Amino acid sequence: MLSAIKKFFTIDVDYKSRVFGFDIMRGVGILVVVYAHGRSKMHFFPRFNDFVSVIGFWLMDLFFVLSGFLIGMILIKFYEKEKTFNLNIAYNFWIRRWFRTLPNYYFVLFLTAALWTILSGNFIFLKAKFLMYMVFCQTVVTPPPFFMMESWTLCIEEWFYLLFPVLLLLGNKILFSGELTSKQIKKNVLTCILIFFSVPMLLRIIIYIERPPLDWVDMSRMTFFRMDTIAVGIFMSWVNFYYKDFFRKYRNIFGIAFVVLISLYLLYFYKVLLPDLKSQVSIVSFTLFFVLSSVAALCLTVYMKEVKMTRVNFLGKFMTIISLVSYSMYIFHRSVIMYIIDELYTPKNDIENIILFFVYFAGTILFSMMVFKYFEFPMTEIREKLKR
pLDDT given at position 388: 67
Under 8 Å CB-to-CB from 312, ≥6 apart: which residues? 15, 16
Where exactly are the structural domains of the chain? 2-386
pLDDT given at position 161: 96
pLDDT given at position 120: 84
pLDDT given at position 177: 67
Long-range pairs, 242-246, Cβ under 8 A, ≥24: 242/186
As a whole number of Å, the end-to-end CA separation of the chain is 45
Distance of CA 107 to the CA centre of its chain: 18
3-state secondary structure 354-388: HHHHHHHHHHHHHHHHHHHHHHHHHHHHHHHHHCC
Tell me the torsion sign for CA atoms 212, 214, 220, 222. Answer: negative
What pTM did the predictor assign?
0.94
Cα separations (Å) of 129 from 140, 148, 154, 162, 163? 12, 11, 16, 21, 23
pLDDT given at position 355: 93
Regions of the chain short of the pLDDT cut 50: none
User: Where does residue 240 rank: exposed (0-12), middle (13-18), buried (19+ CB within 10 A)?
Assistant: buried
Task: In whole angstroms, give the CA distance from residue 139 to residue 149.
Answer: 10
